[in-house]
C-alpha cells in the first residue's frame, strides 16, 4: 500500500480536534476519494498527512515511512505532492517558471529539470504551447492544469488533491477530471477530496466517507454509485 493513516486525531488547536480517530488506506496506483459534508474534516486530513498539522494521536505511513514527524518541505523527497485548495500559481511568472518550481528538489540539476519539463510537456501539450506566457493570462481550467502538471515534475508516487474542481465552470471541471483520469492511467496513487461528488466517484476505485471527523462508511465505488443521490440528500 502507498499510504496508510491510522487513528489520527488532529485539529487546529489541541483542545478542539477536527479529526477523531480517522483510518484510511490509499492503495498503490488507485484513486481513493474522501467524501463528506462541509466541516467533516476532509481538507484537515490532507493537511495532516502532508505535515501542515501535527496529529495529537495516530500514525501516517507512506510506503512504510512514518510521516508524522516530517515537515511539508520533506514530503516531496518522500514521493508525495499536494494540490492545495484554491489557486497556487504565480501569475506574473511564466508557465515554464511555474513548472520549474515544482522541481525545486532538483535545483542545480538543469539536465534533470529539462528532462522533467520535456516529459510534462508531452503529457500536457497545451502548456508547452503557452510555456512563455505569464501564468496569470491562462484560463481557469488551464491554470488548474498547470497546478496539476507542476505536481508531476518530480514523478512523486502519491498525489493529494484538495478540491481540484473548486470555482470552475462545468465545462472546465470535465477538462480537469480528464487530466486526473490521465494521471490514474500513468500509475499515480491519487487521494482526492472534492465537493463534486459525481465527478470524483466516476474515477474512484475506493471511497471513504467522513462525518464529524470520523469514518462512517467506506467501500469500492460501486457501493456508492448505487446510492449517490440519497447520500447527497443526507448532507444537504
C-alpha distance from residue 169 to each of 41, 107, 173, 203 (Å):
25, 36, 6, 19
Quick one: which of 218, 180, 204, 159 has its CA closest to 36? 218
Cβ density class 58-79: b for 16+ within 10 Å, e for less: bebbbeeeebbebeeeebbeeb
51 in the Ramachandran plot: left (φ > 0), alpha (ψ -120 to 50) or beta? left
Instruction: Report the distance separating Cα 41 and Cα 235, nearest Å.
Output: 14
pTM for the whole structure: 0.93
Instruction: Look at residue 232 in the predicted model and tell me its pLDDT.
Output: 67
In this prediction, residue 109 carries a pLDDT of 95
The three-state secondary structure class of 148 is: helix
Rounded CA gap, 195 and 39, in Å?
A: 12
For residue 5, the SS3 value is: strand
pLDDT for 87? 83
**How many angstroms from the chain centroid is the CA of residue 56?**
23
Alpha helices in 67-162 (DSSP H): 72-75, 95-101, 110-123, 125-129, 140-151
167/165 Cα distance (integer angstroms): 6
Name the E strands within the chain: 3-10, 19-26, 31-35, 57-62, 65-66, 80-83, 158-162, 189-193, 206-211, 214-220
pLDDT in tens, the chain (236 residues): 689 999 999 999 888 899 999 999 999 999 999 999 888 999 999 999 999 999 999 999 999 999 999 999 999 999 999 999 888 899 999 999 999 999 999 999 999 999 999 999 999 999 999 999 999 999 988 999 999 999 999 999 999 999 999 888 888 899 899 999 999 999 999 999 998 888 999 999 999 999 999 999 999 998 887 777 677 677 65
The per-residue pLDDT for 218 is 93
Collapse the DSSP code of 106 into the 3-class scheme (helix H, G, I; strand E, B; otherwise coil) and give the result: helix
- CA-angle at 177, arms to 229 and 146, nearest 5°: 145
Q: In 3D, which of 210, 145, 214, 209 has the Cα closest to residue 183? A: 145
CB 178 within 8 Å of CB 144: no
pLDDT in the model for residue 213: 94
CA 230, CA 117: separation in Å to the nearest integer? 44
Amino acid at each position: 500500500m502507498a499510504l496508510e493513516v491510522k487513528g489520527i486525531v488532529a485539529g487546529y488547536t489541541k483542545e478542539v480536534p477536527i479529526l477523531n480517530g480517522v483510518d484510511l488506506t490509499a492503495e498503490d496506483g488507485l484513486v481513493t476519494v474522501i467524501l463528506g459534508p462541509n466541516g467533516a474534516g476532509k481538507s484537515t486530513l490532507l493537511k495532516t498527512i502532508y505535515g501542515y498539522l501535527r496529529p495529537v494521536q495516530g500514525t501516517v505511513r507512506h510506503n512504510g515511512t512514518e510521516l508524522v514527524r516530517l515537515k511539508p518541505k520533506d514530503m516531496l523527497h518522500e514521493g508525495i505532492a499536494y494540490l492545495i485548495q484554491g489557486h497556487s500559481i504565480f501569475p506574473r511568472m511564466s508557465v515554464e517558471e511555474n513548472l520549474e518550481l515544482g522541481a525545486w528538489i532538483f535545483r542545480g540539476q538543469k539536465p534533470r529539470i529539462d528532462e522533467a519539463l520535456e516529459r510534462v510537456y508531452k503529457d500536457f501539450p497545451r502548456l508547452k504551447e503557452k510555456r512563455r506566457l505569464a501564468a496569470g493570462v491562462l484560463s481557469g481550467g488551464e491554470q488548474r492544469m498547470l497546478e496539476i502538471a507542476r505536481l508531476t515534475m518530480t514523478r512523486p508516487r502519491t498525489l493529494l488533491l484538495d478540491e481540484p474542481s473548486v470555482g470552475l465552470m462545468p465545462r472546465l471541471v470535465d477538462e480537469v477530471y480528464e487530466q486526473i483520469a490521465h494521471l490514474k492511467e500513468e500509475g499515480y496513487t491519487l487521494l482526492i477530496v472534492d465537493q463534486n461528488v459525481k465527478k470524483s466517484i466516476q474515477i474512484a476505485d475506493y471511497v471513504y466517507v467522513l462525518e464529524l471527523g470520523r469514518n462512517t462508511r467506506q467501500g469500492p465505488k460501486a457501493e456508492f454509485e448505487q446510492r449517490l443521490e440519497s447520500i447527497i440528500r443526507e448532507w444537504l
